[in-house]
A and B are shown apart, each in its own frame.
Chain A
């Protein structure tokens, strides 16, 4: 237990380092790194439980550290000094389910700003989906009840955008997509 302060310091370092490189970290990953550093002898249940207690303590003492959970309830940790909640949310959804990722990003954008999202933006980091994955997701969405609000609109130059009908009606979504894709360029 005399190693406890050092473990706390190293947990902090691990989370900070991961966040600085744009990544989240799970308990198992922290555990594995601590083991590599020689702080833990094994990854048994007792050790894990102890680590979780220590982690809670570290989180409490360092207000920049945040936890975020995915659909399956597994917590991910990050430092708000390097990662925003928005970015962390994208990373969680990306790691769990691209369908969910696309739908939630589209819903958030449709509600918050509000604006539709260009389909091709999911090709770019941090989403990093392939064109095939996006196409597959959109096909699947059409068949699943929980994604029936995700709709598509196409601008006058053929660029597809997604929006949520929970927050935008089709006419408004089209105008906003046209504004983003064509209007702002023609009205610089």
Chain B
């Protein structure tokens, strides 16, 4: 191990049934899988039998981080949590949730690259991991407490520097729609119930060690400075939101919100975000204000600052201080989150008395964050709230829930956009109180099944954004045409892939994007303008493959795929190029295991292939094209019945998408007929034993 840097060197294994703890050598056992989801898939493949259910003690949950976690590489704060997924319908399959915050770095400093949790404790426990010393502690006094209080109590025992990843009441009660959360706002959805099923309330980690960098220190510093110079704002938006003196381009849809006169109004003294010229690396943290992006100009007056993960200067969790909510709702004035976490409360409501960007909408966000981030409820990329609206306004709640229960909710408040409604609903979801809340907590697929609603209705409704297996789309055709569609067919939950959308949304002119596409994927035709899509071509398939592998690579290295990849930049002198080799450069220097971009992408391909193999094994079929890689009907419809490829529509064409899938399978060297990888592909990527196992089960093409 000593020859490598980057990795801490050990994987911690804790069997909660027996209390036995052991360690594995990371490099010996998992180097070919890097870390993060790589370790997760490997453990599930090797150690969890097909047919295991998410809440069975035999299921395992893997908290995996990568060789770049805890280094100085930007955006290295991601922890991948891999397990059998409780909301994956109609059968659970492998998936991973991802949390930022400080857990990943702290785990490395404590001496571990991953924690594998096995079995089930006979009473509530929490795990203390402190500089290589691990203890299973009694959590009976914490059981029933929210995430905040649990975090505080564990911090009191371990010290303020410890990072605590805890579940709330939702996870304890085995609500499938539940999260684990660290650092108060950084959550991984879907896995709270799996922890709850093991009677595991929390994991506290504290380390005083460091991560060794194997390579030349000057080269390492240079690589980090290069990486920092390529950063844009949140989601790698590389142009500002409004014209800036230095900027050649701007985009009203950019999250790079900083501008002279736009001030963090709730900081004391308040701070002018200013022009944020891209070469001034000390101003990166001022660029993004997700509250202002999502909630409008009013959010500036409530902005304290940006918060975020280890070594990430983007600070996408905008901290808000809204004094009115203390008196009105009895909740703290301060809250923070990003994207769907920020919008958790607001998204339940169709209307607000003062409009979608008024004071009430902001207050709904504050109430939502306060409740959901303490109870530990997951929103499934907004599907919970979209389902809720559809179920209410289509009268389904009224039909499926007993009259007395239905009437117990203040629907008048709900329709008026009164945030106090959330106090009625969210604790009930977390505590499985009543039919309505219990069903919502199951996730879309199991809810539809429980209430006898055909999935078809959800598959046809574009507004619901539902994709398959109980989960929504996540950056599909609306962002990147056929490439987005392909990506959304590949996972067992929402795809969580940003490699493609962070490119198409970067804000640069289409002509510049096409120029970069030539270098990245071989032709300008890989990318189209928004709602101006062209028929499928092989370069789009190459972009889809690249996007998926880069996402998987980030999830294994602990880099943030919500921020990357970094193949475009704000730098005019680079013609807005980023650096397609930044991951391999950082990996090689950190670990000392020199790998080119192509070689590292091949490792990512191996890991992604293992995910595919696990899915095939646990579905018990090799007919992936027809049984797994499915596409909802709304993708092929248009509200004005415009033809696919006409300007203004995101509608896709069925035959063209068949061709897209053909081309994608060819790029992956998978069988086109079944969508399953071939033996040759498994062999080429070093997974022949996996192929053997599938062959034994009759699942190899």
B669 at the interface (CB under 8 A from A): no
Q: Is the CB of A175 within 8 A of B648?
A: yes
Given that A169-B648, A171-B642, A172-B647 are contacting pairs, would A84 and B475 also be in contact in the complex, using a CB cutoff of 8 Å?
Answer: no
CA distance A114 to B340 in the complex (A): 27
CA distance A171 to B650 in the complex (A): 12
Given that A125-B242, A125-B259 are contacting pairs, would A115 and B251 also be in contact in the complex, using a CB cutoff of 8 Å?
Answer: yes
Given that A86-B243, A114-B510, A125-B259 are contacting pairs, would A183 and B252 also be in contact in the complex, using a CB cutoff of 8 Å?
Answer: no
Given that A90-B243, A172-B532 are contacting pairs, would A85 and B356 also be in contact in the complex, using a CB cutoff of 8 Å?
Answer: no
- Chain A residue at minimal CB-CB distance from B640: A171
- CB-contact partner of A125 in B261, B294, B532, under 8 A: B261
B523 at the interface (CB under 8 A from A): no
Q: Is the CB of B294 within 8 A of A185?
A: yes
Q: Is the CB of B243 within 8 A of A180?
A: no
CA distance A11 to B584 in the complex (A): 48
Within 8 Å CB of B294, what residues of A? 185, 188
Within 8 Å CB of A112, what residues of B? 509-511
Within 8 Å CB of A185, what residues of B? 293-294
- Chain B residue at minimal CB-CB distance from A22: B245
CA distance A115 to B293 in the complex (A): 18
- Chain A residue at minimal CB-CB distance from B355: A157
B649 at the interface (CB under 8 A from A): yes
Interface string of A60-77 (1 = CB under 8 A from B): 000000000000000000
B15 at the interface (CB under 8 A from A): no
Q: Is the CB of B243 within 8 A of A87?
A: yes
A83 at the interface (CB under 8 A from B): yes
B195 to chain A, nearest CB (A): 26
- CB-contact partner of A118 in B252, B260, B642, under 8 A: B252
A187 at the interface (CB under 8 A from B): yes
Given that A86-B249, A169-B647, A175-B649 are contacting pairs, would A124 and B478 also be in contact in the complex, using a CB cutoff of 8 Å?
Answer: no
A176 at the interface (CB under 8 A from B): yes
A100 at the interface (CB under 8 A from B): no
Interface string of B605-649 (1 = CB under 8 A from A): 000000000000000000000000000000000001010001111
A58 to chain B, nearest CB (A): 21
CA distance A19 to B275 in the complex (A): 13
B144 at the interface (CB under 8 A from A): no
Interface string of B500-540 (1 = CB under 8 A from A): 00000101011100000000000000000111100000000
CA distance A186 to B647 in the complex (A): 21
A121 at the interface (CB under 8 A from B): yes
Residue of A180, A185, A187, A188 with most partner-chain B CB within 10 A = A188
Within 8 Å CB of B642, what residues of A? 171
B681 to chain A, nearest CB (A): 33
A34 at the interface (CB under 8 A from B): no
Q: Is the CB of A176 within 8 A of B247?
A: no
B339 at the interface (CB under 8 A from A): yes
Q: Is the CB of B478 within 8 A of A179?
A: yes
CA distance A186 to B57 in the complex (A): 37
Within 8 Å CB of B261, what residues of A? 125
**CB proximity to B under 8 Å, residues A132-188:** 157, 169, 171-176, 179-180, 183-188
Within 8 Å CB of B343, what residues of A? 188
**CB proximity to B under 8 Å, residues A109-126:** 112-115, 117-118, 121, 124-126
B246 at the interface (CB under 8 A from A): yes
CA distance A171 to B639 in the complex (A): 12
- Chain A residue at minimal CB-CB distance from B248: A84
| Chain B residues with a Cβ under 8 A of chain A | 242-253, 259-261, 293-294, 339-340, 343, 356, 382, 465, 475, 478-479, 505, 507, 509-511, 529-532, 572, 640, 642, 646-650
* 19 interchain pairs, CB-CB under 8 A: A22-B245, A84-B247, A84-B572, A86-B250, A90-B243, A115-B251, A115-B252, A115-B530, A118-B252, A124-B242, A171-B640, A171-B647, A175-B648, A180-B253, A185-B293, A187-B479, A188-B340, A188-B343, A188-B382
Q: Known A-B contacts: A112-B510, A113-B510, A114-B510. Give 15 more (CB < 8 A).
A: A19-B245, A83-B246, A84-B572, A87-B244, A87-B245, A87-B246, A115-B252, A115-B530, A121-B252, A125-B260, A175-B530, A179-B478, A184-B505, A186-B382, A188-B294
